[in-house]
Amino acid sequence: MSSTSTTAADAPHDAGTGHGDDHAHDVTLAHHFESHEQQFDAGKLGIWVFLVTEILFFSGLFCAYAIWRGLHPEVFIYSHHYLDTFWGAVNTVVLLVSSLTAAWAVRSAQLGDQKNLVRNLLLTIVCAFGFLGIKTIEYSAKVHHGTLPGEHFKPHPSAMVLVEDGEYIGVAGDLARKELGLVDPEMPAGLTEEQELALVEARAHAIELYSAKLVEQADPVPPSVPTFFSIYFFMTGLHGVHVVAGIIAMFWLLKRAKRGDFTPKYFGAVDYTALYWHLVDLIWIYLFPLLYLIS
C-alpha cells in the first residue's frame, strides 16, 4: 500500500518493488504496521475519532432542536401532526434490520465466510435503499402538501392540521371529505372521460374550499411552524445524506468482498463501515421519538 514508509534499513532491498522488508510479504499488511493487530487497532481508533466528529456535527442540529422546542413547545405539538408516525416507525425497523445485517457482515468477515459477507452486505444495501424510498414517500407528501421549511411553508388548506381549544381534531382535508360525503366517492355511470375528469376536479376544489372554512374556524396556526419544518428537513436531510454515503461505502465493500479481499486477519474496512452504519442508526433512534412521537 504505502511504500514510502519503509525504514532506512529496508531501503537497499526495496529499490524495485517497494516490498522488500524482512517478513514474508503480505499484501494485506501495510508496511508501516508491525502486525495485523496493530493495523486493525490503528484503523479502529481512527474510525472512532471520525464518529466523534459526526456526533459533534449532528449536535449542532440537536442543539437547535432543544432550544427551539424549549421556547416553543406548542409549535412542536402542533407540527408533529404533519408527520406520519407509521412511516417513521417502519423506517426505524428498516434501519434496525440493516444494523443487524451490518453487524452480521462483520461476523462473517471475521470468520472468513465470504458467501455470507456478500449476502449480508447486499441485505444492508437493500435496507438502506428501502429507508431512502420511504423517506422519498414522506418528502414528496410534504412537497405535495406545501409543508416545506421557512418561507416555502405554504400548506394547502386541505393539508392543514386543525386544533380547536388546544385539542387536535384532524387534518382539514379528511374532515372536509367526511362532511361533504366524499370519502371514496363513487363515479356516476355514463359519464364521458372528460366529464369524469371535470367531476374529480370539481370535488377536489370543493374539498379545498371547505377545508379553508374549517381552517378559519380552528385555532390560528402557531407562529414559527415553518421553523419546525426547517429543523425537520435539516435533521432528516443530513441523516439521509449519511445513509447515501453509507450505501456508497457498502457498494465499495461489496466489490472488494466479491474479489475476496477480506480475511479473518484483514477485515478492518468491513468493521469500520459497519461502525459508521450503526452510528447512522443510532442517530435515527433519537430522531424518531424527537420528531414523530411528540404528544
Partner 1 sequence: MSATAAHDDHHGLAHTMSPKMLIGIWAALIALTGFTVWTAGLHLHPFDLVIAMIIATVKALLVALFFMHLLYDRPFNGLVFMLSFVFAAIFVVFSMFDTGNNQTLIAARSEVAPVVEEWRATIVEEAAEGDMEYIRGLVDGSIPFEHEGHGEAAEGAPEGDGAAAGH
Mark the segment that binds partner 1 (CB under 8 A) among 4-12, 58-66, 211-219, 251-259: 58-66
Among 31, 36, 72, 239, binds partner 1 (CB under 8 A): 36
Inter-residue contact 109 to 262 (CB < 8 Å) = yes
Cell numbers of 88, please?
A: 417513521
Among 1, 9, 42, 52, binds partner 1 (CB under 8 A): 52
Inter-residue contact 124 to 102 (CB < 8 Å) = yes
Mark the segment that binds partner 1 (CB under 8 A) among 209-217, 220-228, 236-244, 277-285: 277-285
Inter-residue contact 103 to 274 (CB < 8 Å) = yes
Among 6, 19, 30, 44, binds partner 1 (CB under 8 A): 44
Q: Is 107 in the site for partner 1 (CB under 8 A)?
A: yes
Rounded to whole angstroms, the Cα distance separating 76 from 64 reads: 13
Q: How far is CA 266 from CA 93, 124, 142, in A?
A: 31, 21, 45
| Total Cβ atoms within 10 A of residue 3 | 14
Q: Is 251 in the site for partner 1 (CB under 8 A)?
A: no
Angle between helices 268-292 and 225-259 (to 10 degrees): 160
Among 1, 11, 42, 89, binds partner 1 (CB under 8 A): 89
DSSP β-bridge partners for residue 263: 266
Interacting residues toward partner 1 by CB under 8 A: 36-37, 40-41, 44-45, 48-49, 51-53, 55-56, 59-60, 62-63, 66-67, 70-71, 85, 89, 92-93, 96-97, 99-100, 102-104, 106-107, 110-111, 264-265, 267, 271, 274-275, 278-279, 281-282, 285-286, 288-290, 293-295
